[in-house]
Structure 1
């Protein structure tokens, strides 16, 4: 009986050892099989082509908007610089640090302020250094699209041998300035084509949406100011007598005083 039990125990142990061996063999085979599986990662050629098509379609759609946004920002910067240049020029004329500009052709002493806007656009750039603005510190150049040219337009008296600049300032005058891009003129200072002008009823200032970066032939800004000194009175400013015996002169003077 004892021997039978002993044999049974030995058989059980043998079966246990065989089972352990089989389990270990199975685990080892699984590990080897797993290690032999090639690692496949990334995209297939078809997936890559589809991704390229999708990205290209998106770029084609948003590229015009991006270009327009950049162009608008560039033009807005130009207009801001032109506004600063116009203000600085007008303040300089009014303060006396900039010489009073000449009365342009087609404008008279009694031309009303509103009609100054209709004065002819320049065919050549003014030669006065105060009208040529270097905005980026690398020297003024007609080839630089960031530099500016100012066209001053005024009424009032003309400086002559009998009329001094001080007389002109005492009388006072209306001043309109147009600010153009420097590259609206060629290297010799001649306009590249017929430049546009601005009038109160037909604005022709450059738009950021015109030709993407604005029209070179249109003024960036048109501004106006009254130039008078501390001794100027209304009759001086009108450059006439509203009570003149000549009814026509008196009426014209009253209209001038009203800015009509």
Structure 2
């Protein structure tokens, strides 16, 4: 029997992708990256904004709990304003909050600094929050009698002159956004009722009862 010897195949050193094929692959990869880059940027921006809203919500809860427990002094009483939507936004251009987690002195004393970087609240910081707070009680100026507390949470860098004035509701920073978001819009707005151990039922009646012309026959006030 005659056996044929199998010839060995010599591998050329020039085997593999050609230059044209490599260039085509680079172009295809570039097109794919260009297509998904906006999605990646939008996803990152949305995640950053969602985290910012989450931190603002935590700051509001800490402030409300601090006021309710007496660890934080209540904000100044306001006159006839009883609706957060009609309460004016703070002015811009300056921000003096040298003490972390305390009330500011400029532009208003009802602004509370929530320090995020350890240097007080400054208009150059992207991590600081400023809480605008007001309390309202139509029958008393004494905080012990209970009151309605309204707050807005702003970014500290929104107090710069550029970009216009600070906004109020219905303008709010959306969780889904692109870029850095609207620095002038509040991250959060909310109202709550504040009372303490010495607040009586009569205090609630005086504050919450309707005007004399709209009396409720079932009310015990």
The TM tier, using the shorter chain, reads 0.7 to 0.9
Structure 1 consecutive aligned stretches of length 4 or more whose deviation exceeds 6 Å: none
Q: CA deviation at 1:231?
A: 2.2
Deviations 1:91-128 (A, max 9, x none): 11111111111135xx42xx44xx22321111145851
Q: How does 1:1-260 map to 2 (within 5 A)?
A: 38-104=12-78, 107-108=79-80, 111-112=81-82, 115-124=83-92, 125=95, 128-129=103-104, 131-137=112-118, 139-156=120-137, 168-186=142-160, 193-198=164-169, 203-237=170-204, 239=206, 242=209, 249-251=211-213
Pick closer, same or farther for the CA change 1:221–1:39 going to 2, 3 Å.
same
CA contact (8 A) 2:45 2:178 kept: no
Which residue does the alignment assign to 1:15?
none
Q: CA deviation at 1:138?
A: 5.5
CA contact (8 A) 2:84 2:191 kept: no
Cα RMSD of the aligned pairs, angstroms, is: 3.4
**Unaligned segments of structure 2, at least 5 residues:** 98-102, 105-110
Q: Give the secondary structure class of the aligned counterpart of 1:213.
A: coil
Q: Which deviates more from structure 2 when the two are superposed, residues 48-57 or residues 228-237?
A: 228-237
Deviations 1:51-110 (A, max 9, x none): 122112211211111111101110111011100111111111111111111135xx42xx
CA contact (8 A) 1:179 1:222 kept: yes
Higher-helix-fraction structure: 1
Q: Give the secondary structure class of the aligned counterpart of 1:205.
A: coil
Paired positions, count: 203
